[in-house]
Amino acid sequence: MKLTRMYQFHPVIAYGDAIGNDSFALERLLWARGARSRIYAAHAHDEVAAFVRPWRDLAIEPRDGALLMLRHSMGNDCVDEVGDLPLPKVLRYHNITPARYFVGLNEELRKYSELGRDQLRRLAAKCEMGIADSEFSRKELQASGYGKTAVVPILVDWTAFEQQPDPVVADRLADGRTHLLVVGQIVPQKAQHLAVAAFARYRLGDPAAHLWLVGRADLAGGYLEQVRAEIARLGLRDAVTLTGLVSSAELIAYYRGATALFTLSEHEGFCVPLLEAMRAELPIVARNAAAIPDTLGAGGLLLDDVTPDAVAAALERVVKDRALRRELVERGRSHLDGYTPEAVGNALASALALIGWELSGTRSRRITVLSSDQRCGIHDYAQAMVLGLRANDHEVDFVGVRHVDSADLSKKIGTISGDTDVVIIEHENGIFRDVSFVIALIRLWLRRIRIVLSMHEIEPEKFHHYRRLSAALHYRPVYAWPFELGRIFWVGLKIASYFVRYRLILTLMGALPAKLIVHSDRTEHWTDLLTPERGKIEQHPLVVMPLDDATPPANDAAKLALRRELGLPEDGFILVSPGFFFRRKRFIEVARAAPPEVTVVFSGTESAWDPRYLGEVQAYVQEHGLRNVIINTDFATMGKHVAAADALVLFYAEQFQSAIATQAVWAGLPCIYSDHPGFRLYRGAGLVAKDEEELRSRMREIQDPATYARLRRQVALLRRLLAPERNAPRYLAGL
């Protein structure tokens, strides 16, 4: 059977751990291979909650061509219920740390480790096969009763490493000393206490060396104190640093600045840091235990003896022997070839073939993206999609159409090549006339060109014939009753005509495309106006878009120079609210809430839909003498004003979705959002204000350095998850 949908489940989804990262990376791989994929969980951390659905939604998802991948790494109370769902299932096993490591340190983890092993055995009867990260874990699946097993390595998303290293950490490791690195959670099975002892022995010959234990410690329990006690006992307080949880930029800086990585972990189901070190061209020393030899391959020195003397001797070799360092780096580079998306995708396809499921390969398609030809949000979004599709090796043309110009639309449809596989239409109110747009859809359908219709706004009022129908229903009598009686019948005929045309247009808009894409809950709510076929509708988040004619400053000096160019204050915190002056953007409320120490910039132009509001905002600012509020109406510098800001304020009363929010993410800027559902996607990377009083508080809170740094980290994560190159293949999945 051909795999058209794969649902992924894990009890807890976070970004930054191996399972969460693998889930999101596999999602992208499946889209690129033509299968739809979504992630489900019992609990999702705040930073990824908008990208994960509640696991109970699995019960109502389409089942044709669908397979559920049940990820298992620890016991959880909902796992047995998920196992009972009426979907064909495969188990993706990430290994379970044996309960003995948690005895006396963390009773809850001990309990769920034992439960996880019991569930692993029970799930063998409910799953068609077991897929492990490593040969070590595959053997455990076999011993637990899985008749068919395979190995598919964890898929690492290297885009997280395509950013500048944290400058503070980079400077710290650029002092010419030896810096040794251990990466992983501070938990007993990782054996950081042994690493500290081995480092103490190594340091006898290299007294300036420093050890960095990089990883979170929130699950360490009493083991953290054990590690600290070992550091103190060996007199290494100034030579060993426990970093705690670090950002992606900080982790990159540690990998790039370190001399070597080593691990003496006793139990690993895979050990992602080994691959990360190989990519950073670090030599590796590792313990020959559990899955480590499977993942390491020939990419490092493997030790059976982990006494301090033996480990110190190995570290001395990889630090001082230049020829050995070069050899290990080269081996690591070659070893990574087995972990590319293509290699992992092929391994998954081979595994699924064992149970009769066919996962397609990647293929290039000829695609046309059709949308507005004018510089506006929908045009810029369509251009971002073009770039994202091209990054995935598709041949893509862009066709721009003049707004509400039926002749131009008809002409442009005729220019689309006959060998086009797919036409993606980015649709928004005010671009196309309803009737001419449906005629264009019919012409494409008759030519057997598949259509993907991306609807950014759907509501009855957005359709011309509905507005005429509504106007006819609400007509007012103006004649004497005999004439009005005749008029009633005439208006009734008009209402019938408008209704038939309205319903026919919507029915064809739903029936002719092969797939309907929406970008917000508000739009999805109205999709049943177009079609009852839920299987052809998908909600995708908006991808990030670059700022118009602006580039984010590379450093503080560049930002100061940009502020000088724009005539903005060079010091102090600057908040910008950009875009057309609509009443729903509540600029006056933002001005009223702004604390005096904050500069607020309203950067936008007058709206044809609400032409009086700009004047009202200007009058309010002038009447109240608000010197900390600046109004910029130069369209050409809107992007630059955003780039010069510290953060954005998007205190909207209503919206479908926000293109400006995606531009803020692209620029790396956090925002203060209203509590409107349209901003739900971005809440992990910003602050939320329900009213003016809370808005004033958030404007002060966002200036706190720790809060601002946290939000910037989450923005960087969103930028990766919303990148066009990651999400563009999703448009084609399932076709």
Separation CA 101–CA 658 (nearest Å): 48
Higher pLDDT, 192 or 654: 192
The confidence band for 528, taking pLDDT boundaries of 50, 70 and 90, is very high
Per-residue pLDDT, 89:
98
Rg value, the chain, Cα: 29
DSSP characters for 272-320?
HHHHHHHHTT--EEEE--TTHHHHHTTSSEEES--SHHHHHHHHHHHHH
Same domain as 425, residue 531: yes
Same domain as 505, residue 575: no
Sign of CA dihedral 634, 640, 642, 644: negative
- Full-model pTM: 0.90
Q: Do the domain assignments include residue 353?
A: no
Same domain as 115, residue 225: no
Same domain as 565, residue 495: no
- Is the pLDDT at 47 greater than 90? The verdict is no
- Is the pLDDT at 480 greater than 80? The verdict is no
Angle (deg, nearest 10), helices 322-335 and 272-279:
110
Q: Do the domain assignments include residue 675?
A: yes
- Is the pLDDT at 355 greater than 80? The verdict is yes
Per-residue pLDDT, 476:
80
Per-residue pLDDT, 628:
95
Separation CA 694–CA 401 (nearest Å): 43
Same domain as 515, residue 372: yes
- Is the pLDDT at 580 greater than 90? The verdict is no
- Is the pLDDT at 287 greater than 80? The verdict is yes
Q: Do the domain assignments include residue 547?
A: no
Same domain as 563, residue 660: yes
pLDDT tens digit string along 535-571? 899 999 999 999 888 889 988 899 999 999 999 999 8
What is the mean pLDDT of the segment spanning 262-284? 97
- Is the pLDDT at 90 greater than 90? The verdict is yes
The confidence band for 248, taking pLDDT boundaries of 50, 70 and 90, is confident
Q: Do the domain assignments include residue 361?
A: no
Same domain as 436, residue 297: no
CATH number of the domain at 225, please: 3.40.50.2000
Per-residue pLDDT, 649:
97
- Is the pLDDT at 141 greater than 90? The verdict is yes
Same domain as 246, residue 168: yes
pLDDT tens digit string along 383-398? 999 999 999 999 999 9
pLDDT over 70, % of the chain: 100
- Is the pLDDT at 486 greater than 80? The verdict is no
Same domain as 431, residue 513: yes
Per-residue pLDDT, 485:
78
pLDDT over 90, % of the chain: 81
DSSP characters for 357-371?
-B-------EEEEEE
Same domain as 170, residue 293: yes
DSSP characters for 617-655?
HHHHHHHTT-TTEEEE--GGGHHHHHHH-SEEEE--S--
The region of weakest confidence among 22-36, 101-115, 469-483, 572-586 is 469-483
- Is the pLDDT at 227 greater than 90? The verdict is yes
The confidence band for 685, taking pLDDT boundaries of 50, 70 and 90, is confident
Separation CA 610–CA 614 (nearest Å): 8
Q: Do the domain assignments include residue 732?
A: no
The region of weakest confidence among 481-495, 578-592, 610-624 is 481-495
- Is the pLDDT at 709 greater than 80? The verdict is yes
Per-residue pLDDT, 164:
87
What is the mean pLDDT of the segment spanning 226-251? 95
Separation CA 115–CA 723 (nearest Å): 38
Per-residue pLDDT, 303:
98
Per-residue pLDDT, 153:
97
At 721, which helix (H) or strand (E)?
A: helix 705-721
CATH number of the domain at 403, please: 3.40.50
Please compute, for residue 629, the number of CA atoms within 13 A of its CA located in the half-sphere on the CB side: 22
Average pLDDT, the chain: 94
- Is the pLDDT at 657 greater than 90? The verdict is no
**CB 570, CB 564: distance < 8 Å:** yes
- Is the pLDDT at 167 greater than 80? The verdict is yes
How many independent structural domains does the chain possess? 4
E strands, 407-543, where?
422-427, 450-455, 515-518, 537-539
Separation CA 222–CA 228 (nearest Å): 10
Same domain as 410, residue 482: yes
- Is the pLDDT at 482 greater than 80? The verdict is no
- Note down the domain range covering 713: 556-726
pLDDT tens digit string along 59-73? 999 899 999 999 999
Per-residue pLDDT, 381:
93
Angle (deg, nearest 10), helices 434-446 and 406-415:
10
- Is the pLDDT at 491 greater than 90? The verdict is no
- Is the pLDDT at 656 greater than 90? The verdict is no
Higher pLDDT, 259 or 218: 259
Same domain as 659, residue 693: yes
